[in-house]
Amino acid sequence: MSMTLEDVELLAFDPPFLGMPAGPCHCGRWEREGEGFVEIFIRVEKERIADVGFLTNIHGEGILCAALCCQTLLEKSVDEARAIDAHDILAVLPPKARTESVQQIAIR
């Protein structure tokens, strides 16, 4: 799935996955002093990612990257989710949206 610039703006300014899902069973957190944090929560049911959510204090690109990650993980099997990397997540962005700062945040 490829996104338009309008899709990217909507995802960044009204992220559907902001917050913790009900009953998360796993989470991952990236944090660097002075830069902020991103924490992603998932709920797994029957070996599939049933719900996702995130918290972050990195505005703009941080919200966009976390929302893209959540969007990519949702409804994947656990094995499919383990195989996803930052390049897979960034691949859905239109070339104009793949800014240097978005790529740096996503690859961390």
pLDDT tens-digit series, residues 10-62: 888 888 999 999 999 999 998 888 889 999 999 999 999 999 999 999 888 88
The backbone torsions φ and ψ at residue 65, rounded to the nearest 5 degrees and listed phi first, read: -65, -40
Task: Give the SS3 label for residue 100.
Answer: helix
Contact 48, 77 (CB under 8 A): yes
pLDDT for 107 equals 63
Whether pTM exceeds 0.85: no
Contact 54, 43 (CB under 8 A): no
